[in-house]
Amino acid sequence: MDDPKGTSRRNFIKLATATTLMAGASRDVLGSMSTHLIEPHERQTQTASPNDRIRIATIGVGGQGMADTNAALQRTGAAADAPTVPSPQGPGVEVVAVADLYDGRLTRAQELWGKQLFTTRDYREILARPDVDAVIIATSDHWHKKIAVDAMKASKDVYLEKPMVQDLDEGKGVIETARETKRILQVGSQRVSSIVYQKAKELYNSGAIGELNLVEAWWNRNSALGAWQYTIPPDASPQTVDWERFLGNARKVPFDLVRFFRWRNYRDYGTGVAGDLFVHLFSGLHFVLSSAGPTRVMSTGGLRHWRDGRDVPDVMLGIYEYPKTATHPGFNLSLKVNFADGGGGEEGFRFVGSEGAMTIGKGVTITRKPLAKEPGLSMNTFPKAMQDAIKKEYRAKYPENLKELDATREEIYVAPQGYSDLVDHLTNFLDAVRTRKPVAEDAVFGFRAAGPALVTNLSYFKGRSYEWDAEELKVKA
């Protein structure tokens, strides 16, 4: 995927290039710190007239649904002095309807986007409206496939929150429906539209770290909200919450506000750590490396801290094997999520290669230190005269090795202050709705990220490793 979406690459600031050379036991800093501005490559966003406005509706206006909707209304390319207060309209976009199963969120949606907003508990009423061009689906995971398929069959374009599906056997149904209906479907894992990850992709493709051999990724959290302990509103009751509609095809259990508002904690409605967070890491990794996915999946973990009735782990580790392809020589991947992290929480990637390492966090850092292929020097236990002779012979045979092996060069790139990859991802979707061009993260890409995440859960709960076919999108027998 070489920049398939024309996404904006705003100003990256090259913070520093430092070269440190070390000789023997001494360390001399010979490099200098410098700041460079990389020329921006702005997206050519179409300017829509008021009569050419995309009308959107959001199904599920919890935290993520509201964030997605506001991001759609703040599209890339908006004037720098555009108001940031909530409004039902943005550049070429208007929110006309919302659906949710808790009445308080419908009230809040009208507070944000106007009393004229159509609200309902039944998403089918939204799909029946001729004034809705596209929908944002931000429901619990167990509703993703059903609502997405219904929406595309109702001639609506779809922005579908990650993970694309809750179960492995649902993925191909979403893919086939998108193909048959020719509707736009974008999966909501915004890293594939991020200028940070685009920069990482460019650097990797340029050979900045040499031949890849290992990738490490982590997403740690040290907060109640980070562990999905969301606030339950005091007015929530069987009268204000549509419990039966929420359950859908899930097993029937008595009314439970904890399950409704903290559904990520339960396998009946969510996909746990892997579906919420591993899928983001898979999306970013696959984008940077143009990879289809792993061939082998294994995981472990446990419930270490949040013993609150949830039936998914709060610590999970996954190990994956990626095969050799045209873009990389084959490598191993490790993923880690820890909701009992005593260090305050962090997230990131580390790509390890033969010539250095690339770290992705809020920016991209390249640390270049070539891996030696020649023998090293280990001679402190030898007589002094012998050490001198060995060193002389080594310098003659490998004249550059002593210098190059001790040289480290670091380059740091960061996104502009206030940058939002979520806004860019929604912008990519809405541009595709208008132009009918491919999106950054279609159903195939989305399932190639969701699939390994779901197999990770399978491995954890079954206690064994699995083979994954990234081309056929299925677990191998």
**201-212 pLDDT per residue, tens:** 999 999 999 999
Q: Of residues 28 and 180, which shows the higher confidence score?
A: 180
Q: Which of 22-36, 64-78, 90-104, 247-261 has the lowest mean pLDDT?
A: 22-36
Read off the tokens for 246.
């929420």
Residue 245 confidence (pLDDT) above 80: yes
Phi and psi at residue 216, in whole multiples of 5°? -115, 135
pLDDT bin (cut points 50, 70, 90) of residue 352 is very high
On whether the CB atoms of residues 96 and 175 are closer than 8 A, the answer is no
Read off the amino acid at residue 65: G
Residue 473 confidence (pLDDT) above 70: yes
Residue 119 confidence (pLDDT) above 70: yes
Read off the tokens for 305.
């801290």
Query: Quick one: pLDDT at residue 371?
Result: 67
Query: Quick one: pLDDT at residue 435?
Result: 94
Residue 27 confidence (pLDDT) above 70: no
Phi and psi at residue 222, in whole multiples of 5°? -135, 60
Query: Quick one: pLDDT at residue 328?
Result: 78
Q: Of residues 270 and 43, which shows the higher confidence score?
A: 270
Read off the tokens for 425.
């991802």
Query: In angstroms, rounded to a whole number, what is the distance separating the alpha carbons of residues 312 and 302?
Result: 8
Q: What is the mean pLDDT of residues 400-413?
A: 66
Residue 132 confidence (pLDDT) above 60: yes
pLDDT bin (cut points 50, 70, 90) of residue 43 is very low
Query: Quick one: pLDDT at residue 6?
Result: 37
Q: Which residues contact 141 (CB under 8 A, 6 or more apart)?
A: 163, 165, 166, 269, 270, 271, 275
Query: Quick one: pLDDT at residue 83?
Result: 45
Residue 428 confidence (pLDDT) above 50: yes
Query: In whole numbers, what is the pLDDT of the chain averaged over residues?
Result: 86
Query: Quick one: pLDDT at residue 45?
Result: 44
Query: Quick one: pLDDT at residue 418?
Result: 84
Per DSSP, what are the bridge partners of residue 364? 360, 413
pLDDT bin (cut points 50, 70, 90) of residue 397 is confident
Can you list the domains of the chain with their CATH numbers? 13-40+195-230+256-418+443-475 (3.30.360.10), 50-192 (3.40.50.720)
Residue 270 confidence (pLDDT) above 90: yes
Q: What is the mean pLDDT of residues 368-377?
A: 75
Read off the tokens for 82.
């555009």
The predicted-structure confidence for 174-221, as pLDDT tens digits, reads as follows 999 999 999 999 999 999 999 999 999 999 999 999 999 999 999 999
Q: What is the mean pLDDT of residues 320-334?
A: 91
Q: Tell me which residue of 265, 274, 269 sits closest to 337, measured CA to CA.
A: 274
Q: Where would I find the beta strands (DSSP E) of 115-172?
A: 118-120, 134-137, 157-161
Query: Quick one: pLDDT at residue 286?
Result: 97
Q: Of residues 40 and 302, which shows the higher confidence score?
A: 302
pLDDT bin (cut points 50, 70, 90) of residue 396 is confident
Query: In angstroms, rounded to a whole number, what is the distance separating the alpha carbons of residues 159 and 190?
Result: 11
CB-count burial class (<10 Å; 0-12, 13-18, 19+) for 312: buried
Query: Quick one: pLDDT at residue 368?
Result: 84
Q: Which of 126-140, 244-258, 325-339 has the lowest mean pLDDT?
A: 325-339
Among 331-345, 378-392, 454-468, the range with the most confident prediction by mean pLDDT is 454-468
> pLDDT exceeding 90 applies to what percent of the chain?
73
Q: Which residues contact 189 (CB under 8 A, 6 or more apart)?
A: 162, 279, 280, 283, 284, 425, 441, 446, 449
> pLDDT exceeding 70 applies to what percent of the chain?
83
Q: Which residues contact 51 (CB under 8 A, 6 or more apart)?
A: none
Query: Quick one: pLDDT at residue 362?
Result: 85
Question: Could you tell me where the DSSP H helices lie in 81-232?
Answer: 103-113, 123-127, 144-153, 171-181, 195-205
Query: Quick one: pLDDT at residue 51?
Result: 54
Residue 19 confidence (pLDDT) above 90: no
Residue 82 confidence (pLDDT) above 70: no
Q: Which residues contact 473 (CB under 8 A, 6 or more apart)?
A: 171, 172, 175, 444, 447, 448, 451
